[in-house]
Amino acid sequence: MALEPWAKSQAEQLIGPLGDRWTHVQVVADAARRVATVLPNEDRDVLVAAAYLHDIGYAPSLNRLGFHPVDGALFLRAHGQERLACLVAHHSGARFEAEERGLEDELAAFPVEDGPLMDALTFADMTTGPAGQPMTLEERIGEIRRRYQPDDPVHRAITRARPLLQEAVDRTRHRLATWIA
Query: What's the mean pLDDT when you consider all of the chain?
Result: 96
Give percent of the chain above pLDDT 70.
Answer: 98
Predicted local distance difference test score (pLDDT) of residue 181:
53
Residue 54 CA to its chain's centroid (Å): 4
User: Is pLDDT at 136 greater than 60 in this prediction?
Assistant: yes
Q: Is the pTM of this model over 0.85?
A: yes
pLDDT single digits (tens) 160-180? 999 999 999 999 999 999 876
CATH number of the structural domain 3-180: 1.10.3210
Predicted local distance difference test score (pLDDT) of residue 46:
98
Give the dihedral sign, CA 34/37/39/44.
positive
Predicted local distance difference test score (pLDDT) of residue 179:
76
What is the mean predicted confidence (pLDDT) over 141-149? 96
| Per-domain boundaries in the chain | 3-180
Q: Is 127 exposed, middle or buried (0-12, 13-18, 19+ CB in 10 A)?
A: buried
What is the mean predicted confidence (pLDDT) over 142-152? 96
Residue 128 sits at φ, ψ, to 5 deg, of -130, 125
